[in-house]
A and B are shown apart, each in its own frame.
Chain A
Amino acid sequence: MAEIKIINVQKQFGKVVANRDINLTIHDREFMVLLGPSGCGKTTLLRGIAGLDPVDSGSIYIGDTDVTDLPPRKRRIAMVFQSYAVFPHLTIFENIAFGLRMQRVADQDVGKRVEAAAELLQINDLLKRYPAQVSGGQRQRVAVARALAVESEVLLMDEPLSNLDALLRLEMRAELKRLLKEVKSTVVYVTHDQIEALSLGDRIAVMKNGSILQCDTPLRVYDHPANEFIGSFIGNPPMNFLQGAVEVSGSKVNVLAGGASIQPPTSVEGILKQKISSGVRLGIRAENIEVVSNAQKDAMTGKVLVVEPLGSHNMLTVMVGDQRVKVNAHADSVFQPDQTIWLRPAPEKIRWLDVESGVALAE
Chain B
Amino acid sequence: MKSRASFPRVLGRILTYVLAILIALWILAPIYLIGVSAFGEKLSAYTYPRPFWPAPFTIETMSFFLKSGGVIKSVQSSVIVAMITLVLSTLIGAPAGYTIARFIFSGRDAFRLIVVSTRSFPIVILSIPLAVTFIEWGMYDSVYSLALMHTALALPFTILITSSVFASIPRDLEEAAQTLGCSQLEAFLRISLPLALPGLAAATLFTFVLSWNEVFAAVILTVRNRTLPALVLTVLSESQLPYRFAGGFFMMVPSLIFMLFIRRYLLNLWGRVTK
Contact = CB atoms under 8 A, between A and B. Distances in A.
Interface string B240-275: 000000000000000000000000000000110111
Interface in B208-238: none
18 contacts: A51-B178, A52-B178, A71-B178, A72-B179, A73-B179, A73-B182, A85-B170, A85-B173, A85-B176, A87-B173, A87-B177, A88-B195, A98-B180, A102-B180, A102-B181, A130-B273, A132-B270, A146-B176
A85 B175 contact: yes
A168 to B, nearest CB: 20
B136 interface: no
A102 B271 contact: no
A150 B176 contact: no
B194 interface: yes
B16 interface: no
A132 B273 contact: yes
A81 interface: yes
Contacts of B270: 88-89, 130, 132
Given A81-B172, A130-B270, A132-B270, A89 B194 contact: yes
A81 B186 CA distance: 19
A81 B194 contact: no
A162 interface: no
A73 B178 contact: yes
B132 to A, nearest CB: 48
A132 B272 CA distance: 9
Contact of B180 (A52, A88, A89, A146): A146
A52 B175 contact: yes
A103 interface: yes
Contacts of A133: 271
B191 interface: yes
Interface size class of A (residues with CB under 8 A): 20 to 34
B183 A71 contact: yes
A88 B273 contact: yes
A73 B271 contact: no
Interface string B182-208: 111010000100110000000000000
Nearest to A104: B181
B179 A130 contact: no
A231 interface: no
Nearest to A156: B179
A89 B265 CA distance: 13
Given A81-B172, A83-B172, A98 B179 contact: no
A98 B170 CA distance: 18
Contacts of A87: 173, 176-177, 191
A132 B271 contact: yes
A291 to B, nearest CB: 50
Interface in B21-43: none
Given A83-B170, A132-B270, A132-B271, A99 B180 contact: yes
Interface of B: 170, 172-173, 175-184, 186, 191, 194-195, 270-271, 273-275
Contacts of A77: 179
Given A72-B179, A81-B176, A87-B176, 14 more contacts: A50-B179, A52-B175, A52-B178, A73-B183, A78-B179, A81-B175, A85-B170, A85-B176, A87-B177, A87-B191, A88-B275, A98-B180, A99-B181, A130-B271
A83 B176 CA distance: 10
Max count, chain A CB within 10 A of own CB: residue among B179, B182, B195, B273: B179
Contact of B182 (A78, A102, A132, A150): A102
B177 A98 contact: yes
A98 to B, nearest CB: 5
Contacts of B173: 85, 87
Nearest to B175: A52
A175 B273 CA distance: 29
A110 interface: no
Interface string A101-122: 0110000000000000000000
A130 B191 CA distance: 15
Top-7 shortest CB links A-B = A102-B181, A85-B176, A132-B273, A99-B180, A85-B172, A79-B179, A72-B178
A88 B186 CA distance: 17
Max count, chain B CB within 10 A of own CB: residue among A50, A89, A102: A89
A330 B274 CA distance: 53
Contacts of B179: 50, 52, 72-73, 77-79, 156
Interface string A46-68: 00001110000000000000000
A146 to B, nearest CB: 7
Nearest to A83: B172
A103 B186 CA distance: 13
A51 to B, nearest CB: 8
A99 B186 CA distance: 12
Contacts of A130: 270-271, 273
A150 B175 contact: no
B173 to A, nearest CB: 5
B17 to A, nearest CB: 28
Contacts of A146: 176, 180
A321 B16 CA distance: 67
A353 to B, nearest CB: 41
A79 B184 CA distance: 16
A130 to B, nearest CB: 6
A129 B265 CA distance: 20
Nearest to A81: B172
A153 B38 CA distance: 70
Given A88-B195, A89-B194, A132-B273, A79 B182 contact: no
Contacts of B186: 102
Max count, chain B CB within 10 A of own CB: residue among A51, A77, A81, A156: A81
